[in-house]
Amino acid sequence: MRKNPERRTALVDAAIEVLAREGARGLTFRAVDVEAGVPAGTASNYFASRDDLFTQAGGRIYERLQPDAPTMAKAADGAYDRATLTELMYELVGRIAAFRTGYLALLELRLEATRRPELRAVLTERVRADIDANLSNHGESRMPGDATSVLLLYLALNWLIVEQLTLPEIFTEREVRDLVAAAVERALPATPCPPAPAGVPAPGPGR
């Protein structure tokens, strides 16, 4: 088992590309070698098994997907209002969709996790950490919305990204933007009303 860390990272990153392009079943030692531009057999020396490749790729994707310095800064510095939150979510979708191969690889890994308990454990831990991080980030910032808002946004935006990456013709760019805005808008708990026009008690479907 070789140690060289740069090489190892390069190989894992190559594995992500292969995953996105060829699918989980296409992730082989040889394919990684080719993608990374190293001699055949190299990946064999760096990973104990294919399982190992999968789990390392799973870990690495979150490493690359999670942190995002400039956005984090904006999240911390910006105003804590709905408009800023919308802007942030819009950036989030754009940013993740931009790392197309990473997200597609992640989907492949999720499906592969169906078959590989070890991978499932790794992904479960990462996803849980991701969600928890979102929750506590949101809690610490003073953005509007509660924990439920965060979870609902998580759900809706994830599928929105799936839709964009796999069947881009379903929603236009405009529709995507509108959906992000609507998701933020409605994910927030009902806000107290602006002062009602007049004595009209405003019926409508009460909760």
Q: Are 116 and 51 in contact (CB under 8 A)?
A: yes
* Whole-number Å distance between alpha carbons of 136 and 98: 25
Distance CA 38, CA 144 (A): 49
Distance CA 30, CA 40 (A): 6
CA-wise closest residue to 32 among 43, 23, 45: 43
**Binding partner of residue 65 among DNA, its own copies, none, CB under 5 to 8 Å per kind?**
none
Phi-psi region of 206 (alpha: psi -120 to 50; beta: other; left: phi over 0): beta
- Which of the stretches 34-42, 91-99, 120-128, 130-138 binds DNA when contact is defined by CB under 7 A? 34-42
Contact string (CB under 8 A) for its own copies, positions 42-71, x = contact: ------------------------------
Interface with DNA (CB under 7 A): 2-4, 7, 26, 28-31, 38-42, 44-45, 49-50
Interface with its own copies (CB under 8 A): 21-26, 80-82, 104, 107-108, 110-115, 120, 123-124, 127-128, 131, 144, 148-149, 151-152, 154-160, 162-163, 165-167, 169-170, 179, 182-183, 185-196, 201-207
